[in-house]
Structure formats: structure tokens, C-alpha cells
Amino acid sequence: MADDPTYVYAAGEGDPPELPGGLTGVADRPLRVIEAHGMWAAVSTVPSTDFTQDALQERLEDLAWLATTARAHHDVVDELGRWTTPAPMALATVYLDDDRVRAMLDERGTELAGIVRRFRGHTEWGVKAYVAPQATREPEPAGRAASGADYLRRRRAARDRATDADSVAHDAAERLHEAAATHAADTRRHRLHAPALTGRSDRMVLNGAYLVPAGDEDRWRAAVDDGGDGGLTVEITGPWVPYSFVAVPAQPAEEGR
């Protein structure tokens, strides 16, 4: 137990949040808060069996473990987001002990505080849009193919139609993104998930993240609603702690101390 490392979920600036008791995180270990240097970190002690470098590397390739741990991590960050403005760590940010966490808070405090200030008063919303394959493939010629060559011709024609539909869907996705960006302080475009990942038969054409100021959620949502034409199926996720906006593309998050 003494050797069990400390897992960090998120850090924040100023007074630590007063969390309700009984919260647990990764591996069902109780959530604690470490304070140091005007910063705080939400942590829990995790079993060293899973969190040595080798074990962790192996564990990360175990889907069940990865999924459970990712959800536990996310749930803690999400809970913190209800009470304060956390700067969310990536999964499996682990230190040997609490002192090492305090050292990190000292070392990276400025950077973390900068992230917290950018996030304060904002939440992240995700917009995913899909285009239904049925819509692109419906106009099939009636009757069955008269020959193999005819069958191949039909298949190719169907594909050509699908290509046209792809560009239509692409334009619709761009319009939706612009609409969603209207009331957002910042935006990110994430990589599109393959159907294998979404488990859907329709194809993802937009996977955006939008940093929306508190109070603007309704306007933002209405804008997304208006922008979602073109036969897209639109899915909104959120509110998220603004994971997607941790990194600042143009300039590093560090500000002068």
C-alpha cells in the first residue's frame, strides 16, 4: 500500500472544490484532493499492480480495462466540473506519491492555471453528424440485372451516386460546423470515427468540439439546430469538461509566470 502510486485526474487553481463524500475513481479508490502552491489536484491512490510502467502499458491494450478506467477517469473529471473548473489530465497520469504530485503542481502551476482560466465559465459540447447510406443509395434501377456486366455497371453507377452524395454531405457538414461555431468561443475538429468505431451503418461526416460560454448554450443549440440540414443525422454530446481545448494550437498554453 505504501508503494501504491498516486493517480491524478485533474488540477485546478485556488481553493479546492468541496466534493461530496464517497466519490471513487479508478479502481474504485476514494478520491482525494492534494493542495500545494495555490493549486490543487484531484487524486486517488491506485494499486501498484496495475500502475507500474510495464503493467500500465499492457493494461492500456486491454479493452475492458481501458474502457472501465477511462470511464472512471472521465466520471471523476466530470464530477469535478460540476463544482469547479478543472484542468483535465490525460488518462493514466500517475506519480509515485503525493509529494511528486505537489512538485508537479509547483512546476506546472502556471500552465495549469492558464488552462483553468481559459476554461472558466465554459463547457465543451460535441457535435457529430452522420449521413445515412440509404439516402445516397436509394435510386437503384428497378428490376434485376440482365447480366453480370449489367450488374457491375449498376454497382458502379450506385457508387458514383454515392460519391456525389458524399460531397453534398461534406458541404452540409461544413455548414453545420460553421453554425455550431457561431456562438462558440473556440472550436476543434476531431478525426472522424470509422463506422467500425461508431457501430453505425451511417457514416460520420463531422466530429466537432465547441467551447461554449455559460449562458449561451441555448443559443448555441438553436444555431446547431438551424445548421443541421442536408439530410444529416446530428448528435450532440455534452456538456464536457473542455478536454478538447487543453491545447492551444497557435501558442503554447504557458504564460509568463
Residues 40-79 that bind another protein (CB under 8 A): 51-54, 56-57, 60-63, 66-67, 70-71, 73-75, 77-79
Q: Sign of the CA dihedral 69, 106, 246, 218?
A: positive
Of 15-34, which residues contact another protein (CB under 8 A)? none
Binds another protein (CB under 8 A): choice among 190, 214, 248, 255: 190
Looking at the DSSP bridge assignments, the partners of residue 14 are: none
Taking the complex as a whole, the smallest distance from the CB of residue 35 to another protein amounts, in Å, to 18
Binds another protein (CB under 8 A): choice among 95, 119, 210, 220: 95
What is the radius of gyration, based on Cα positions, of the chain?
Answer: 23
Nearer to another protein, 40 or 51 (CB): 51
User: Which range touches another protein (CB under 8 A), out of 12-20, 28-36, 156-164, 179-187?
Assistant: 156-164
Nearest CA-CA partner of 212 in 78, 121, 115, 122: 122
Question: What 3-state DSSP class applies to 56?
Answer: helix
Taking the complex as a whole, the smallest distance from the CB of residue 51 to another protein amounts, in Å, to 6
Taking the complex as a whole, the smallest distance from the CB of residue 15 to another protein amounts, in Å, to 20
Residue 44's Cβ-side half-sphere holds a number of Cα atoms within 13 Å equal to: 19
Q: Rounding to the nearest 10 degrees, give the CA dihedral for residues 46, 50, 56, 58.
A: -160
